[in-house]
Structure 1
Amino acid sequence: MAAHNESGKKAEEMAAEWLQGKGYELIETNYRYKHAEIDLIMKYRGLLIFVEVKYRSGTGFGYAEEFVDYTKKKLLVKAADAYIHESDWHKDIRFDIVGVYKDRSGAINFRHFEDAFY
């Protein structure tokens, strides 16, 4: 596996643990539908939440949320629709982005953007 894939996978694991520490329940990781993948599917306060995780080893090239473009959002929505149909979900949903950042000292920080798009 390429180094960027490994760090992305580790970022997804850290984001899931961080969200679980905030009371979120992990339902599924890396749900795939055709060409789309949802990093994390979680439940929180009656909502089904689709989470896109972005890892950055700094902010020199921008923040994580800036890297979820229109095409990516469209793919996430299609995958979410498929998951909703498969799981027969009839309650509210939300799309979040979690940025995982490593600062210069190596510490990991998170930025959570709730209801980031639809």
Structure 2
Amino acid sequence: MAEHNDLGKLGEQKAADFLEEKGYQIVDRNWHFHHKEVDIIAFDGEVLVFVEVRTRSSSEWLHPRESIFPMKVRYLVLAADAYVRYRKMDNRIRFDIITCLPVNNGKWEIEHIEKAFTAQVE
């Protein structure tokens, strides 16, 4: 596996651990709908949260939170819609972003952006 894939998987694990420590209940990881993927799906109380995890080795070029472009948002919304339909759920939903940057000595800088964007109905 390529080094950037290893870093991404490690970042997703750090994000999942972070959410669980905050009391979230993770119900799915790496859920696919066609070529669209949701990294983490979790409950925050009764709210179903779709989480995009962004991991980078440094923030020199582009901070992870700045790497989510409109097409990615659209894909997340489409995947979330497919998920709630497939599971026949009627919960409120929310879209969050978690950014993960390894700093030093095995420590990570983790930023959780709740309500990062809203689904636009077309």
Provide Cα deviations, 1:17-53, integer angstroms capped at 9, x if missing partner. 1110000001000000011100000001210000000
The residue identity in structure 1 corresponding to 2:34 is K
The residue identity in structure 2 corresponding to 1:3 is E
Rounded to whole Å, the distance in 2 between the matches of 1:115 and 1:78 is 17
- The residue number in structure 2 matching 1:77 is 77
**Consecutive aligned runs of 4 or more in structure 1 exceeding 3 Å deviation:** none
**Identical counterparts, % of pairs:** 37
The residue identity in structure 1 corresponding to 2:65 is E
Rounded to whole Å, the distance in 2 between the matches of 1:63 and 1:22 is 24
- State how 1:1-118 maps to structure 2 within 5 Å: 1-118=1-118
Please report the RMSD computed on the Cα atoms of aligned residues, expressed in angstroms: 1.1
Rounded to whole Å, the distance in 2 between the matches of 1:26 and 1:42 is 4
Provide Cα deviations, 1:55-100, integer angstroms capped at 9, x if missing partner. 1222111221111100000001010000000111112000000000
The residue identity in structure 1 corresponding to 2:80 is A
TM-score, normalization by structure 1: 0.95
The residue identity in structure 1 corresponding to 2:20 is Q
Rounded to whole Å, the distance in 1 between the matches of 2:45 and 2:104 is 35
The residue identity in structure 2 corresponding to 1:56 is R
Q: Say how many residue pairs are matched.
A: 118
TM-score, normalization by structure 2: 0.92
Contiguous gaps of at least 5 residues in structure 1: none
Contiguous gaps of at least 5 residues in structure 2: none
The residue identity in structure 2 corresponding to 1:111 is E
Rounded to whole Å, the distance in 2 between the matches of 1:31 and 1:48 is 14
Rounded to whole Å, the distance in 1 between the matches of 2:62 and 2:102 is 13
Instruction: Report deviation, 1:6.
Output: 1.2
